[in-house]
């Protein structure tokens, strides 16, 4: 019984690192001046066709809807930035 308990404890403790959280650093964030365009397409009346393996879907007939552009700016240039600490 002691061997089974030790084995289960070892397996449990060694698998704990598999569920750890990722480390997010500033190196993965966009830099100042980067612009990202976000397109929303209307798929209401769109039918992709057949399903299954070796099928290629053609999304070129979808209707483009709203377009949003997000710009990353220097926080010190934004109105009200002095109200927040560094």
pLDDT tens for residues 47-67? 878 888 999 888 887 888 889
pLDDT band at 15 (very low <50, low <70, confident <90, very high): low
Quote the pTM value.
0.46
Q: Which residues contact 34 (CB under 8 A, 6 or more apart)?
A: 71, 72
Tally the residues of the chain.
Answer: 86
Phi and psi torsions of 56, nearest 5°:
-110, 125
Q: Which pair of tokens denotes residue 73?
A: 């700016």
Question: Are the beta carbons of 40 and 17 closer than 8 angstroms?
Answer: no
């Amino acid at each position: 019984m002691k061997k089974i308990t030790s084995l289960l404890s070892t397996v449990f403790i060694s698998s704990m690192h598999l569920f750890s959280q990722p480390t997010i650093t500033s190196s993965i964030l966009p830099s100042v001046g980067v612009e990202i365009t976000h397109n929303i397409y209307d798929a209401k009346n769109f039918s992709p066709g057949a399903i299954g393996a070796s099928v290629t879907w053609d999304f070129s007939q979808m209707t483009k809807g709203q377009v949003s552009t997000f710009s990353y700016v220097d926080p010190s240039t934004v109105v009200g930035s002095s109200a927040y600490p560094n």
